[in-house]
Amino acid sequence: MQRVLLALVLSMLQVASLSAADRVVSLAPSLSEIVVELGAVDRLVGVLDGGERPVALAHLPSVGRYGQLEMETLLALQPDLLLVWPGSVSAAQREQLKSFGIPLLVLEPRSLDELAGQFVQIGERLGRAEQGRRLHERFVAGLAALRARYHRAQPLPVFYQVWDAPLYTIGGRQIISDALQICGARSVFADVQLPAPQVSVESVLLRDPAAIIAGDARQLQAWRRWPELLAVKRGQLLVLPDNGLERPSFQMLDATAKLCDVLAPAR
């Protein structure tokens, strides 16, 4: 009986230790944003850079940039937890980090519901369990409101253009594809499993989207060469300048609302 109790106590201590990491390094800007949203910046000792940092993170050491992790700098910070998005660190470096015995929390949400669950996961590991649950509840409620407001009996077929030269879009297992569904739309490349496939103009013409959306008007101009394209016929070459959809954190709820607002008039 004593052995059972001892094993239970040790197990509880291990869980408590896992849930309250003190020296955390975030290896993705989106994960760094979640830490800020949880009010847990005090737990961070370093971040991987990729674009402009939130002001709250300006004082923290950098451990490199996307695809350029500075391993010596990271180890010198003596982290007891690494927040990892697989796309920001190579597979070889992830294996190397595991060999050092540093706990890794690997997070790659494929849907907005998965993202909501990650607020709870990260909150528990950073000693902000209650804050994580609150973010989860607010996020889920916000998604439900958007679904109800923008529901369509027939989803609007959309080509989401990530870049124009070469031409990139999103696949069905990408979180932005789920954001389109929240807005009553669907990616015309939802059947593709790659997160960001390169596609041809011919394949877009064949799938004939009713709307095309991109980050700026310049990237949309080339489509006017094909007046037979449904999106061109209907004048539905749409601009969504905000890039918040590319950073899966709580702010993505507002970014999704902006996406829905842009798509709402389209038919």
- In the chain, where does the domain assigned CATH 3.40.50.1980 lie? 24-112, 152-264
- Residue 25: exposed, middle, or buried by beta-carbon count in 10 A (0-12, 13-18, 19+)? buried
87 vs 66: CA distance, rounded Å: 8
Fold of 152-264: Rossmann fold (3.40.50)
Provide the CB-side half-sphere exposure for 259 (13 A, CA). 32
Q: pLDDT per position in the chain (267 positions), as tens?
A: 434 333 433 343 344 444 579 999 999 999 999 999 999 999 999 999 988 889 999 999 999 988 789 999 999 999 999 999 988 888 888 889 889 999 999 999 999 999 999 999 999 999 999 999 999 999 999 999 999 999 999 999 999 999 999 999 999 989 999 999 999 999 999 999 998 999 999 999 999 999 999 999 999 999 999 999 999 999 999 999 877 998 999 999 999 999 999 999 999
* Distance between first and last Cα of the chain: 68
Ordered alpha helix ranges (H), the chain: 2-19, 29-37, 71-76, 91-99, 112-125, 129-150, 175-182, 201-207, 230-233, 252-263
Question: For the structural domain made of 24-112, what CATH number should be given?
Answer: 3.40.50.1980
258 vs 51: CA distance, rounded Å: 21
215 vs 195: CA distance, rounded Å: 18
